[in-house]
Amino acid sequence: MTTSPRRSEPRKFQLPEIRDQQVAATWVTRRAISMVFATLMLLATTALVASLVVTVTLTVDGDGVIEPASIWFVRAADVGILSMVLVHTGDTVRAGQVVARLDPFAVSSSVAELMSQVDGARVDVERLVHAVPYDSARLESKLVQAESQVLRARATLHQRMSDFGLFGDADSLALASSTRAHYALDAPSADLMAAKAEVASAHVDLSASRLAAYDIARKQADIRQLEAQLDLARRRLSRQAVVAPAAGIVLSDDIERLVGSSVAAGESILELGDIRGWRARIAVSEHDLHRIRVGDRAKVELPALSELENYRLDGVVVAVGWQPAASGRSDTAGLPNSTAGGYRVLLSLDSTGVAPITPGLLRRGYVAHGKIATRSGRLFGILLDYFRDRLRGPGR
């Protein structure tokens, strides 16, 4: 009897219950969620602590240029032709130093002519003063001569009257000669009347000679007027020299090309700068201008001196513009084109930071990047104020 081979029974694998699998998955999920919430809480706590501890500074950026803190315009004091310039760009000048001259020919000619007129008027006055006594003596002598002619004519008339047996006053008879005619008495009567007229004329001339004092006074007044004109012309002559109003460095370029040009009184010829102090002139957007106050601290970066350690300088706001910096105005000279329409802000650079820089390295017009610190405080307080302002809305 043969026996058939015994079949091996297949192995059975038991899977875990579904309920046990759900419990493990739930535990893992809860553990993960707890870790996420713990992490978030830790981050929130860290952020809260940091906002209460960390100090932040809000800044406003602006681009511009640097320039000497004090700039003076050297102006012509009179109208004329610029004949010479005595300084060059970069020269150091002292206050009152002559830096240019105007052509003095026209003014010098006027001074010479007025001097000649004054001298001539003075000679005329001297002549009048010395002539007064001589004229008086001459006129008095003429009066005496005229009176002697009256006596002679009266005596002649008396002689003729006695020849014809007439007696009376000769002067009355002479006055009556116009109403009667007498061949022997008319001629001596006319001579007497003529002699008396000469006496009257001599008296008038003598009285008129006393008016010479008025002529002298008028001439003296003319002299004073000429002297005033001469003094004005001499002052104009002195103003042909253009002087520096203060000590500084010549900033203007190519001033030699101005020689021969016509300048008006008050016209600027060149500029001087005091390089012992510097300032930055930057432009700020209108959206940030309201945050800036005079006295705010700032940092100014000079890219041209980036190789130096101290190319970042401290500064302070000294002025904030009230109107946009329009293109072409003097206060926008040198500002980058990108700042057109911005508001001008002046920053005074700290002299202690400028002093270590080698003299001559700083140049007017160097580009400056300014960062103005408008507010500094704890991060939490700044964020709180920010959101409070946003909730209030603009204009509230």
Structural domain containing residue 133:
107-235
- Residue 5 lies inside a defined structural domain of this protein: no
Pair (90, 119) in one structural domain: no
Beta partners for 92?
A: 249
Encoded tokens for 379:
């991060």
- Residue 287 lies inside a defined structural domain of this protein: yes
Pair (165, 289) in one structural domain: no
Count of domains observed in the chain: 2
Pair (77, 177) in one structural domain: no
- Among 213, 235, 257, the domain-final residue is 235
Pair (196, 262) in one structural domain: no
DSSP 301-370: E-GGGTTSTT-EEEEEEEEEEEEE--TTSGGGTT--GGGTTPEEEEEEEPHHHHTTSPTTS--TT-EEEE
Pair (381, 255) in one structural domain: yes
The answer to whether 70 and 246 have CB atoms below 8 angstroms apart is yes
Pair (143, 230) in one structural domain: yes
Q: How far does CA 185 lie from the centroid of its chain? A: 91
CATH number of the CATH domain containing 73: 2.40.30.170
Q: Dump pLDDT digits (tens) for 357-390.
A: 776 788 888 999 999 988 766 666 666 666 666 6
Q: How far does CA 110 lie from the centroid of its chain? A: 29
> What is the C-alpha to C-alpha distance for residues 370 and 62, in angstroms, rounded to an integer?
5
- Predicted local confidence at residue 189, as pLDDT: 75
The answer to whether 280 and 245 have CB atoms below 8 angstroms apart is no
- Residue 191 lies inside a defined structural domain of this protein: yes
- Predicted local confidence at residue 1, as pLDDT: 43
- Residue 310 lies inside a defined structural domain of this protein: yes
Helices then strands, counting H and E runs in the chain, come out as 8, 12
Pair (255, 382) in one structural domain: yes
Pair (269, 296) in one structural domain: yes
Pair (159, 214) in one structural domain: yes
- E strands, the chain, are 55-75, 80-85, 92-93, 98-102, 241-243, 248-250, 262-263, 268-284, 297-301, 312-324, 343-349, 367-378
Q: How many CB atoms lie within 10 A of CB 116?
A: 11
> What is the C-alpha to C-alpha distance for residues 368 and 378, in angstroms, rounded to an integer?
29
> What is the C-alpha to C-alpha distance for residues 122 and 223, in angstroms, rounded to an integer?
7
Q: Dump pLDDT digits (tens) for 242-280.
A: 999 999 899 988 888 889 899 999 999 999 998 888 999
Encoded tokens for 62:
């602006």
- Among 204, 235, 266, the domain-final residue is 235
- Residue 318 lies inside a defined structural domain of this protein: yes
Pair (227, 273) in one structural domain: no
User: What dihedral angle (degrees, nearest 10) is formed by the CA atoms of 31, 36, 37, 43?
Assistant: 150
Pair (312, 375) in one structural domain: yes
Give me the long-range contacts of 137-144 (CB less than 8 A, separation at least 24): 139/202, 139/205, 139/206, 139/209, 140/206, 142/202, 142/205, 143/199, 143/202, 143/203, 143/206
* Ranges of residues in the chain whose predicted pLDDT is under 50: 1-2, 15, 18, 394-396
Pair (272, 189) in one structural domain: no
- Residue 113 lies inside a defined structural domain of this protein: yes
- Residue 63 lies inside a defined structural domain of this protein: yes
Q: How far apart are the first and last CA of the chain?
A: 112
